[in-house]
Structure 1
């Protein structure tokens, strides 16, 4: 009788989870990683459980801690009894074992190991709750306004606990920060992971590593409430894109949709050099106290933008420089700035520099200028200059 009740309850729970997935539409977004340029989006602000994509935040926090010298790849992590109790995906570490941090982070990234996530939380932050608190603090710092973490692993809560909540947009923001760290891309690009020499060689849960050219991460997720999810990233031709898909009903659907978003992105987005280092940018700047009447500032560096092809014709180059400068001026002195804008958004900017040394005028030249000014033939001062041009 008890078995019948348990089976019926389990089936009802499973059925309810399936209905939950069916009631929610798929959420997705594709962005360019460096600038956050939105390539496409669909229900990107719908709050829902992110499942194991939660683990991107521990990945980021561990990488940032390594950068700051708090720990290293060899930092020892001692396994506690509590670690053994977690369900879901595991690498089956045992209480009393000591593992290097690098081994457990690879297990977390490749296998989505929940026991590895808890072990790292306890070793580096003292407890799961402490890490969850830091995860929420970092989310606020990153502008993930619709995210609330309640676990370090993303499993559905038990005993009346609160579920993790996020959006496709917030997961994309988190992914932007993750891909800045080579060590994270190294972990998430591993196709296989073997924790023990005599243990099973486990495959990465992200099937796009095999299917898509340039893919090197990032994280999958699944629970009954969340559906099948993936945050994927790929780089081609100097452009890195991030795609997030949440709430798919089928395991393969998340990969198909993410790959479609990324491929469309690579087709429709270009990295474009608008101006080159050393290019002269009008208008010219008048020079006082100098025998050179005016100079045209030059760019301090190349100006690159990553945009959708359809937006190329709408780019504007906006320069801001003084109407006049007074000698002496050394070559390379900042003389303003230039920006590439799309609508009201600045996509790239660099300084404008003096193209040459400008020595003070000789006394003879000054005398001549005084005479000309007395006769009304000297040039008059102009207003401060802001120039706008389309590319």
Structure 2
């Protein structure tokens, strides 16, 4: 009897333990829902990439190359060491001298001792060597050769000391108000004087002047450029070339004080953008951020044409004392601006023209202007020109 009771007690006790274990498991499962597999972070749509983080930079700017319209900026007028971005204006001055017939791309350039002793990144030029101007310009703009920059400056203006004032004068003419050059290659001074200073806004102005020259972009779009009759291939310091769609320029810069600078440009269809980053913490970050800025701009903006050069503006102006009684002014230039995709343009056009003009009137004489505004700002101001010459009319009063 006692044996049966003991067996019954043991079975009951073990069943209770099993019940408790099962109950605990079930109650725990009810209290904590089963874990779902983690979903991968959603990929950013290539059609609408986010604006990249730019706080790590001294200055950033994204602009339309055609009009200069700023699409995004941060500290764009802050003065910052230009480093090798300085070489951009040396290249511009040289090409403008070629335009005026003062030099040609095949002009021989003799290497001075001073040029051969340039520090930093060089292509090992030796005193007395002679190279075509084009070879040195490519080496200066593509591989950022400091010795080539000195050689070009000396051939251009006779010496570095006379070239620097010419660089500053041209910068002022372009409207680069935060720029002051001290050198021709951007190397930091050794005598305690200030470095070459500029700003993201000024670099965008200079970039716009350079990208209008197809020859520059043919050079800066190359991954490597030949030197010494093809015996050496010089690498492009701009790592976006060949890796980001449409990128064909423009210039890198680095010193310890400036950190990592970059002016980059890309063309996709009818749209060319310029991205400027200054003071990046690393080379990789500057390239990644510039690429992201370009992608952001191409994905979000489209060009809206307002008027084309030579197009009649639709309002006649009365002419007195002329061979015609009226004329219709034409637009002096193309006018367009970038608009966010899907956004309403909300354009308002104001013609500021005189009621009457007196002959004689010269062809393309400025008669007034067309002002284009949207809800936020003035988009464009286009001079209104006379489409033709209007001579003064002479006549003899009738006799009575």
Q: Note whether the superposition's TM-score is higher than 0.5.
A: yes
Q: Which moved more, 1:335-344 or 1:307-316?
A: 335-344
Moved more, 269-278 or 84-93: 269-278
Within 5 Å, give how 1:19-38 maps onto structure 2. Answer: 25-38=57-70
* Residue number among 340, 343, 347 corresponding to 2:380 in the alignment: 347
**Greater share of helix:** 1
CA deviations 1:172-229 (Å, max 9, x no partner) are 1111111122222222222202212464322100111112221111100111111111
Distance 2:119 2:206 in 1: 25
Following superposition of structure 1 onto structure 2, how do residues 117-132 of structure 1 map, counting pairs within 5 Å?
117-132=149-164
8 Å CA contact retained: 2:220, 2:248: yes
Give the conservation status (yes or no) of the 8 Å contact 1:63–1:183.
Answer: no
Does the alignment pair 1:109 with 2:131?
no
Aligned to 2:211: 179
Q: Which moved more, 1:26-35 or 1:72-81?
A: 26-35
Deviation at 1:122, TM superposition (A): 1.5
Gaps of 5+ in 1: 1-22, 289-294, 327-332, 355-391
Answering whether residue 226 of structure 2 is matched by residue 219 of structure 1, we say no
Q: Matched residues in 1 for 2:318 and 2:171: separation?
A: 49
**Matched residue SS, 1:118:** helix
Q: Is 1:44 matched up with 2:76?
A: yes
SS at 1:313 equivalent? coil
Shift, 1:100, TM fit: 0.5
SS in 2 for 1:208: coil
Equivalent residue, structure 2, for 1:383: none
Unpaired runs of at least 5, structure 2? 1-54, 321-325, 359-364, 388-400
Aligned to 2:98, which of 46, 63, 66? 66
Instruction: Go from structure 1 to structure 2 and tell me whether the alpha carbon gap of 1:46 and 1:341 turns closer, same or farther (over 3 Å shift).
Output: same
| Distance (whole Å) between structure 2 residues aligned to residue 275 and residue 320 of structure 1 | 16
Q: Name the SS for the 1:171 alignment partner.
A: helix
Give the Å deviation of 1:94: 0.9
- The TM-score with structure 1 as length reference comes to 0.73
Displacement of 1:26:
2.8
Distance 1:125 1:114 in 2: 17
Q: Residue by residue, what CA displacement relative to the aligned partner does 1:104-147 show, whole Å, maximum 9, x if unpaired?
A: 00100111000100111112211111111111111111121111
Summarize the alignment of residues 127-138 of structure 1 with structure 2, pairs less than 5 Å apart: 127-138=159-170
The alpha-carbon distance between structure 1 residues 124 and 277, as it changes in their structure 2 partners (threshold 3 A), is closer
Q: Is the 8 A contact 1:32 1:39 kept in 2?
A: yes
Q: 158, 161, 166: which one pairs with 2:190?
A: 158
Alpha-carbon distance between aligned partners in 1 of 2:150 and 2:332, rounded to the nearest angstrom: 46
Are the aligned partners of 1:269 and 1:306 in contact in 2 as well (CA < 8 Å)? no
Larger Rg: 2
Partner of 2:25: none
CA contact (8 A) 2:372 2:379 kept: yes
- In 1, Cα distance between equivalents of 2:256 and 2:127: 29
Q: Which shows bigger deviation, 345-354 or 75-84?
A: 345-354
